[in-house]
Structure 1
């Protein structure tokens, strides 16, 4: 059993978010699996797992201070590609791709998406 069924982040600019996530999530093997008309889109591998939506209450999307959505990457090369793609697509660096000393073989990158949501991508495999 998985711990989560899905993770959702909000957006105020859906088309820009779709373009950003198509690009960066493709680097780690995820693809857009559904569009919810003008409300959002869903990415995943075999099942929907990451949603980008306009808030249901009609208010502006805001980011959570202290919240990070972290994706698992197949290898370090895909983390490097994710990081470079995110920056090229307008994302902001929150920690460049590289080793993380808190766990053996931890390699990660941190970015903020176009709406300010903090994202990480991790791999725990040795080089």
Structure 2
């Protein structure tokens, strides 16, 4: 739905490590990087849309970022990796029938208070 999302973070090094580790199970990797004030661009293997973060002193508003997972195992792996990377639980992996019958997601709070989600909307295998 989007080409890229770019947002400021208060501690570039911590946020970069968090997002790389948390999103590694989804195949996300660095595709370009400049100085912290320019930031880093992250991209998934089958995605055309990228996530970019950069260092700023401004306190950004909280965001809700939802990343597509190919299957429920990736959602589970994202959740574990995100917690290991310092994220805080905001909803363990599981079905969310209030959204739709196949919605399976996990939520964590990232270093700047953003709600980070991995979601699979495919039927259970």
Q: What is the TM-score when the length of structure 1 is the normalising length?
A: 0.86
Aligned to 2:42: 43
Please give the alpha-carbon distance, in whole angstroms, between the structure 2 residues aligned to 1:22 and 1:60.
Answer: 22
Please give the alpha-carbon distance, in whole angstroms, between the structure 2 residues aligned to 1:30 and 1:108.
Answer: 17
The total of aligned residue pairs comes to 120
Structure 1's unaligned 5+ residue stretches are none
Q: Residue 95 of structure 1: which of 77, 91, 94 is its match?
A: 91
Shift of residue 15 of structure 1?
Answer: 0.9
1:80-116 Cα shifts (integer Å, max 9, x gaps):
0100111111101111110001202110011111111
Shift of residue 117 of structure 1?
Answer: 1.1
Structure 2's unaligned 5+ residue stretches are none
| 1:110-125 correspondence runs (5 A) | 110-125=107-122
Q: Is the 8 A contact 1:9 1:117 kept in 2?
A: no
Q: Aligned-pair RMSD on alpha carbons?
A: 1.6
Q: Give every structure 1 segment of 4 or more consecutive aligned residues whose post-TM-superposition deviation is greater than 4 Å.
A: none
Shift of residue 48 of structure 1?
Answer: 5.6
Please give the alpha-carbon distance, in whole angstroms, between the structure 2 residues aligned to 1:124 and 1:38.
Answer: 34
